[in-house]
A and B are shown apart, each in its own frame.
Chain A
Amino acid sequence: QVQLVQSGAEVKKPGASVKVSCKASGYTFTSYYMHWVRQAPGQGLEWMGIINPSGGSTSYAQKLQGRVTMTRDTSTSTVYMELSSLRSEDTAVYYCARGAGEQLNNWFDPWGQGTLVTVSS
């Protein structure tokens, strides 16, 4: 079955960077876009960006431009999300989520289990 397994929780200091991984299995990795979504404590869902695992092209939410980088490793079917210059407002659960179809404009299914990133001095 299609599965996305994310790396474990992280605690970082303000100004540091964090890199979260998402390992995919159960499907052809390069055939489906992958998204990252975050959720601050008690808040809603915020789309962060998208990566095409086939060629590695990316698009990011405007508010995160310059701080977020998404990459992939096709040899391990893993995508990564790195967020730099962390501040307290970046404390959130970070999810990877697969685009449901092979076209760009699609809903998300399935989702990874989430990775809690805590930014605290």
Chain B
Amino acid sequence: AAGVIQSPRHLIKEKRETATLKCYPIPRHDTVYWYQQGPGQDPQFLISFYEKMQSDKGSIPDRFSAQQFSDYHSELNMSSLELGDSALYFCASSSLQDLRGRTDTQYFGPGTRLTVL
């Protein structure tokens, strides 16, 4: 079965640079979520999109922005990078209902490991 695709898998940037992370949800999934996981921490919700509209916002810095495009893929743009932005960034997707009737189950991509030097 198709899974969530994230690119790139690894990214190294300098402080104050800009990074763009991409997420391709599972086909026919209508909601995309972004999470940030620091070393030794649990994932923290950043932002989500339902049908290309922002649906919820968490602890996302003002330096970060995101959007969902007409083909449902999403991009997380991060500017003025700081050392503390080094983390694993997950994208997850869900559908109100899948083939087994289960709703609101989020499936995660492999993550993008961002290192800021």
Q: Do A and B come from one complex?
A: no
